Amino acid sequence: MSDQAKTNTTQNRRRDYPAGYGVVEPVANYRPWDTDAAFSEVYDLVREHTMVDVYRLWTLWTLAGQVPMGDLLEIGSWRGGSGTTIARAIGRRADGAPGQLYLADTFAGVVKAGERDTYYTGGEHANTSPEIVRELLRNAGVEGVELLVGIFPDDSGHAIDQKRLSLCHIDVDVYQSARDCFEWAWPRMVSGGVVVFDDYGFYGCEGVTTYVEEIAGTIADGAPIVVVPSLSGQAIVTKPSLDSRI
């Protein structure tokens, strides 16, 4: 979740960035979110409940509609906008493949900020509550989503310890929290399951960027971790099938 999300669809050319950062201007012009009526309906509902922009929400919407059978987890739900988008996406699937959706948040702001984090110090984004998220889910006509309150995985991971995950959206802003969440989730991902790091490509979230680049190309569960950086600012990691493992 980046503080810049409110403005990254209106580019701020006057901002001074350090080396390696600056305005990103993709030249692609296919915009399927403009003509997807179901997505547009959801976006209108959630846009004031999220700092995740339309591009990243579209990615989550698309992935949630394709991932294999398994439960889904979002860590760092804030006011529920991206979680509601995921919930509506899986609710439209005709195959009924995905399982339960869990939304995890401290509801007390960012935790585990440390020396690798250049902006966050702890406690940011505390202006939310479980009630705010539940109200948005109700307004969106979504039922059956379970909220996990507290630091994840420290406080609430035990509640879903035996689950198998098809999608894990990690939106926690800082290095140590991103690391703890990924290391908990990765062994529980099904083959073909997808982990999305929200904060990879954003100035101020260098801790998450650092962690993702640390794991890229490393071996886990007998196969390399292949990270796909997205120009939307996300980083996407897919769990390989058993046949492709070394």
Query: Of 92, 4, 95, 7, which Cα lies nearest the Cα of 41?
Result: 92
Q: What is the pLDDT of residue 222?
A: 84
Class of residue 245 by CB neighbours under 10 A (exposed 0-12, middle 13-18, buried 19+) = middle
Regions in the chain scoring below 50 on pLDDT: 2-11, 246
Q: What is the pLDDT of residue 47?
A: 97
Indicate the angle between helix axes 37-46 and 81-91, nearest 10 degrees: 150
Q: What is the pLDDT of residue 96?
A: 67
Q: What is the pLDDT of residue 223?
A: 86
In this structure, are residues 133 and 37 in contact, taking their beta carbons and an 8 Å threshold? Answer: no
Q: For every residue of 25-66, which 3-state class applies, written as one string? A: CCCCCCCHHHCCHHHHHHHHHHHHHCCCCHHHHHHHHHHHCC
Q: Average model confidence (pLDDT) for the chain? A: 92
Q: Which residues pair with 224 in a beta bridge?
A: 219
In this structure, are residues 101 and 72 in contact, taking their beta carbons and an 8 Å threshold? Answer: yes
Q: What is the pLDDT of residue 8?
A: 43
Q: What is the pLDDT of residue 99?
A: 85
Q: Which top CATH class is 30-223+235-244?
A: alpha beta
- What's the whole-model pTM score? 0.93
Phi-psi domain of 217 (left: phi exceeds 0; alpha: psi -120 through 50; beta: other): left
Residue 103 is given by DSSP the state E
Q: What is the pLDDT of residue 6?
A: 46
CA 178 – CA 212 distance, rounded (Å): 9
In this structure, are residues 118 and 170 in contact, taking their beta carbons and an 8 Å threshold? Answer: no
Omega before residue 98 within 30° of 0, cis: no
| Two tokens, residue 198 | 């929200």
